[in-house]
Chains A and B, each alone.
Chain A
Amino acid sequence: MADETGHGQATASPNGLEAGAVLPPRTFRITRADLVRYAGASGDLNPIHWSERFATGVGLPGVIAHGMYTMGLAGQAVVEWAGDPAAVVEFGVRFTKPVAVPDDDTGTELVVSAVVKGVTPDGHAELALTAVCAGEKVLGQARAVVRGAGGTTG
């Protein structure tokens, strides 16, 4: 919470994520092959993520990415910013728009960016995330809380 940082509380987490910092955007390319691989790895075999015929039949513009795939990519951006793949304490998103993935070699592009909203009393950084595909925000209320470096558990 940015407005809570003025009461003698730390403004930077141990891994240098300072309140107000704008983190470098991460760009992910998503093709149909990525969706097939995610379907297999996750067990989410819903045909809206691989069958054009089925997807258009239920009123979608075409095959769309799994929401959890988009969230998974955003999670990778988060752990890269945190500098620790085990740093995430909380992670939540709303799926606001479908990510349509065309049947070609270039697919589509997802850009994930973030600002550090603040640092919690226990030194965790709170990130507000933005994920944009084809000019539209595809995640809403996207938020991650990450532990400062050196705070891993085992």
Chain B
Amino acid sequence: MPIDPSFVGRTYPPTAPYEVGREKIREFADAVGAAHPAHRDPAVAQALGHRDVFAPPTFPVVLTIGTSGSQVFDDPDLGIDFSRLVHGDQRFRYTRPVYAGDRLVCVCTIEDITHRAGNDFLVTRTELATETGEQVVTVWSKLVVRGEQ
């Protein structure tokens, strides 16, 4: 059954703050082969004009998978079959890097729902901002729910 397009515009409650740790940034940097010392050494990051070590560009998915993403996956109104889910597109627009020490809140909105050739396409937009409201990065994900063959 296609996902009901009337859920476009639905916005989920802000997630509990995620505190970005230096060691989490290091672990993620190791995993994507981000060798630059500015992901590991605060002195190097500060010498480059940053307040602390910062995360590689795709790090925000660590937050969106575990927080706002699960709000969408678990929404009974959408009824997404996780076993048929494919990641279609991903996009980031950065206001500034994610820094160690940031306490980030995700607000996820369903931006688009379409149905084409038996598949559902769902676009989410997640705004990551600090607890005090400083905008950090906007994350768009297009999820494809493959139709039953």
Contact = CB atoms under 8 A, between A and B. Distances in A.
Contacts of B50: 86, 152-154
Interface stretch (B2-10, B25-33, B107-115, B122-130): B25-33
B87 A67 contact: yes
Contacts of B30: 37, 41
A90 B48 CA distance: 20
Given A68-B87, A85-B34, A89-B94, A42 B62 contact: yes
Q: Is the interface of A mostly helix, strand, loop or mixed?
A: mixed
Contacts of A69: 31-32
B97 A86 contact: yes
A94 to B, nearest CB: 5
> What size tier do the contact residues of chain A reach?
35 or more
Contacts of A89: 93-94
Given A58-B83, A88-B57, A154-B50, A38 B88 contact: no
Interface of A: 28, 34, 37-38, 40-44, 58, 67-69, 71-73, 75-76, 78-79, 84-86, 88-95, 141, 152-154
